[in-house]
Amino acid sequence: MGNQRSVVPIALVAGCLAATPALAQTKSSATETATASSAPAESSLTVGALQLGAAANLAVAAFDIHVESDSVVYSYFLKNTGDAELDVTATVSLPELQASSDRHQTWVLASNDPDNPVGLTITSGGAPVTTTAQVHAYALGLDRLAEIKAEHLPLIPFGVDIDKRLAALATDAAQRLAALGLISLPDAAQKTPATADWLLSVVRSWHEILPPRKTTPVVIKFTPVKARYRLGKDSSQDLEEIKDEICLKPQALGVLQARLKANGAWMVTDISLADDGPSRWLGGPKRTLSVQKPKPDAIVAFCGMDEKTVGKPAVLGLAPDDSEEIRVVIFEPAGT
């Protein structure tokens, strides 16, 4: 199993989103300030970088990431320097999904398709790529996919569908699944329902065919599992605490804090990206990054940003060399 990546947003302010989309996962939160009356705040997960098999004549010529509020594109330019066609295995890991009892944060998915909950599409040389899904559901470290399917349970371990199915389970079936570590039984004393305890892991794979003496663009597009939260008048200290993490410059920090001090607010989109190069390749090219502003007055922050582009519709930059993940934060003025 791969490591589950997540980004916990700025210590959450009292004014979280008033409405949360139906397909959401609650997760444990480091935030202690959220109150029981607050709506859940969305948090982010990362779609993994392209992974490739090795070949003597294969090189990664370039790697570009383009970010919009509702769309991320990883573009890889793979160069076959030899005289023969190359056929290598390629994979992309989707975010691992697991339910939690904490209601203060949620993960919101693009769809309820367990094989592809982020709307992943891939093209190679401009042509669509057909991928195969390797799906696993781990409980207590064991793959229990067959047992879940035998009970006709939804594979995504959170949301309305799984809640209904678990509530309708016969007692003997529920006890059998609990013994396998797949579910937690309802607790009448605590007034908690049954919950799914498995971790859903999905890897999409395909054969990447690279013609000789050519550079082939491989484009991976998906809907990000992003964080969305609101910053209000009491959030100035929260900005101070995370300014170094997202390389927020003094001028931008001043604009953000000035609006908060004037009783204004910011709506924040917080996206975590995989910026490591394909596996087995050391010393690859610089990862270029472009972030499209949703509105002209939006403020973008990420490490490696080119300060000359901060006022333009698309903010450009280079991912830091010492990271395998980069955090992009977009601030939009919000009503009070």
Bridge partners for 271 per DSSP: 328
SS3 label, residue 10: coil
Is the pLDDT confidence value at 16 over 70? Answer: no
Residue from 119, 115, 181 nearest 148 by CA = 181
What's the mean pLDDT in 292-316? Answer: 96
Distance between first and last Cα of the chain: 44
Which of 227, 222, 254, 218 shows the shortest CA–CA distance to 328? 227
pLDDT, tens digit, 9 for 90 and up, residues 36-46: 334 556 779 99
Residue pair 319/49 in contact by the 8 Å Cβ criterion: no
Three-state secondary structure of 155-174: CCCCCHHHHHHHHCCCHHHH
Measure the CA–CA gap between 294 and 195, rounded to whole angstroms: 37
pLDDT tens-digit series, residues 111-159: 999 999 999 999 999 999 999 999 999 999 999 999 999 999 999 998 8
Global pTM reads 0.86
Tens digits of residue pLDDT in 165-207 = 999 999 999 999 999 999 999 887 877 889 999 999 999 999 9
Give the pLDDT of residue 282.
53
226-283: per-residue pLDDT in tens? 999 899 988 888 898 889 999 999 999 999 999 999 999 999 999 999 988 776 565 5
In the chain the domains, ranked by start, together with CATH numbers, are: 6-144+198-334 (2.60.40)
pLDDT score at 103: 59
Alpha carbon of residue 268 to chain centroid: 15
